[in-house]
Amino acid sequence: MNKRMVKWYRPNTVKWALNLWPPFWGAGISITSISEDFREVNVRLKLRWWNKNANRTQYGGSIFSMTDPVYSLMLMGILGEQYYVWDRQAQINFVSPGKGDLTAHFELTEPMLNEIYRATCEGDKFFPCFSILVKDESGKVVANVERTLYIRKKAQYREWSDAKKTPS
């Protein structure tokens, strides 16, 4: 995240911006909630005539898209301008057809954040993997999405041990 974004990067602002973002809005995706500390986010995908596939169920691309920027944006809100946070790779396993509205819950726990801080404090790259369950209205799993992020502390904020005298 750059310094200009830090000023306005607040949960309500991020929620508002994402809900107006054309890729989300057009796909029927909405952020229903973001906790004040960015540690929990809930996303909903409404089934509409324009996001149905040939089988009249949720289009797989929309299911995949509903998970796309969420963990990156959460971590940007938590880690701030000291870190680079990007999506690195992702895969999806479709479990059953999405016949109605779908939801996904994203959560970052204290142990997860501690692992990120520990792994990146000296400037090392870290590639945590997060699993997201996309569920239908009855709670049945429709898809499991695995997302791997790239996280690295920016050079000017790194701590150097005696063993590491120069940035890598």
pLDDT band at 38 (very low <50, low <70, confident <90, very high): very high
pLDDT band at 9 (very low <50, low <70, confident <90, very high): confident
Domain ranges of the chain: 5-156
More confidently predicted of 7 and 153: 153
Residue 39 pLDDT > 60: yes
The CATH-assigned architecture of domain 5-156 is Roll (3.10)
For the chain, the average pLDDT equals 91
Per-residue DSSP letter, 46? -
Residue 4 pLDDT > 90: no
Which helix (H) or strand (E) segment holds residue 65: the answer is helix 60-65
d(CA 126, CA 86): 11
Residue 14 pLDDT > 80: yes
Residue 68 pLDDT > 60: yes
Q: Which residues pair with 145 in a beta bridge?
A: 92, 132
pTM for the whole structure: 0.88
Distance of CA 109 to CAs 74, 80, 103, 119, 163, Å?
Answer: 12, 17, 20, 16, 31
Q: How many CA atoms lie within 13 A of 52 on its CB side?
A: 9
Give per-residue pLDDT as tens, 102-140.
999 999 999 999 999 999 998 999 999 999 999 999 999
